[in-house]
Amino acid sequence: MLFASDLDRTLIYSKRFLDKCKKKPLSIETKDDKEISFMTEASVSILKKITNRILFIPVTTRTIEQYKRISFLKNVIVPKYAIVSNGGNILINGKIDSYWSKIVSIKIKSESISSKKVLERFNEIKNNEWIYKQKEADNLFYYFIIDKDNIPLDEIADFKKWLLKYGWNISIQGRKLYIVPKFVSKSSAVNYIKNKTGKNKIIASGDSLLDLSMLEHADIAFCPSHGEIYNSYKEGSLKVSKHIVFTDNQGMSASEEILKKVEKLTCDAKLIS
């Protein structure tokens, strides 16, 4: 068994979630000497128990550099495997798995149109009224810092249909918009590690549409009652599989709820392999 979990807004949370958190948060990431990400003490404690029983894999859209800022995953829990760059890179004991990187490179070239063509098409709807910054992530995909209130939703919907035809995807998470090749996915990377380690069951958790395929391919999955997946489900624009369970809680309390459910599953000796 393995537990593959998204990080931001699933297990770890930024400062803006602290106002709704009644429990004492622990700082787990700093940037420019400022505390920027947190977990509750209970979440840390439960995750430690889980990692002592089964393989825990942090899974994130963060770049390698952004992932390595998380001190908690260097000093408290040190996972053997980490999936970063939305699945485009896998770290094994902190070093890039070069074999996986070659697979990703070949798949992108064979299944997706060039990033140049994608950006040319995106430039037709992009303007300074709703986009502040553009960044390339580990030479794999793009993300943009946006003003979500001014985003042209109809044009984005049409652009998404176009992207899907040519092997790319799009996702909006908070103030970031991601444009990513389809094969650069968390589910592909999790499946690779599953086969590599011989595990036969997957528990997964995540909140965004970039997590959805990972949740769908898991044996059981948990989703916070906030974020892209939950909002799309509530709006009726997304159907989810029965094995994907929404939390009763939101925010940092959702993290604790997910981890408690995962810990309970790991206590069943019949499930662990």
End-to-end CA distance of the chain: 5
Decide: 227 and 208 in contact? Cβ < 8 Å: yes
Name the amino acid, one letter, at 240: V
pLDDT the model gives residue 24: 76
Same fold: 2-104+183-266 with 113-181: no
Which burial class, exposed, middle or buried, applies to 268 when counting CB atoms under 10 A from its CB (0-12, 13-18, 19+)? exposed
- Could you tell me the residue ranges of all domains in the chain? 2-104+183-266, 113-181
Which burial class, exposed, middle or buried, applies to 16 when counting CB atoms under 10 A from its CB (0-12, 13-18, 19+)? exposed
- Per-residue burial over 35-74, b if 16 or more Cβ lie within 10 Å, else e, is eebbbbebbbebbeebbebbbbbbbbbbbbebbebbebbe
pLDDT the model gives residue 17: 85
- Per-residue burial over 230-239, b if 16 or more Cβ lie within 10 Å, else e, is beebeeeeee
Looking at domain 2-104+183-266, its CATH class is alpha beta
pLDDT the model gives residue 63: 97
- How far is 128 from 56, CA to CA, in rounded Å? 41
Decide: 171 and 228 in contact? Cβ < 8 Å: yes
Within 10 A of 244 (CB to CB), how many other CB atoms are there?
Answer: 19
Name the amino acid, one letter, at 126: K
Q: What's the pTM? A: 0.93
- How far is 201 from 3, CA to CA, in rounded Å? 9
pLDDT the model gives residue 269: 47
> Among 3.30.1360, 3.30.70, 3.30.2450, 3.40.50, what is the CATH number of 113-181?
3.30.1360
Q: What is the pLDDT along the chain (273 residues), one digit of tens a residue?
A: 999 999 999 999 998 888 777 777 899 999 999 999 999 999 999 999 999 999 999 999 999 999 999 999 999 999 999 999 999 999 999 999 999 999 999 999 999 999 999 999 999 999 999 999 999 999 999 999 999 899 999 999 999 999 999 999 999 888 899 999 999 999 999 999 999 999 999 999 999 999 999 999 999 999 999 989 999 999 999 999 999 999 999 999 999 999 999 999 998 745 544
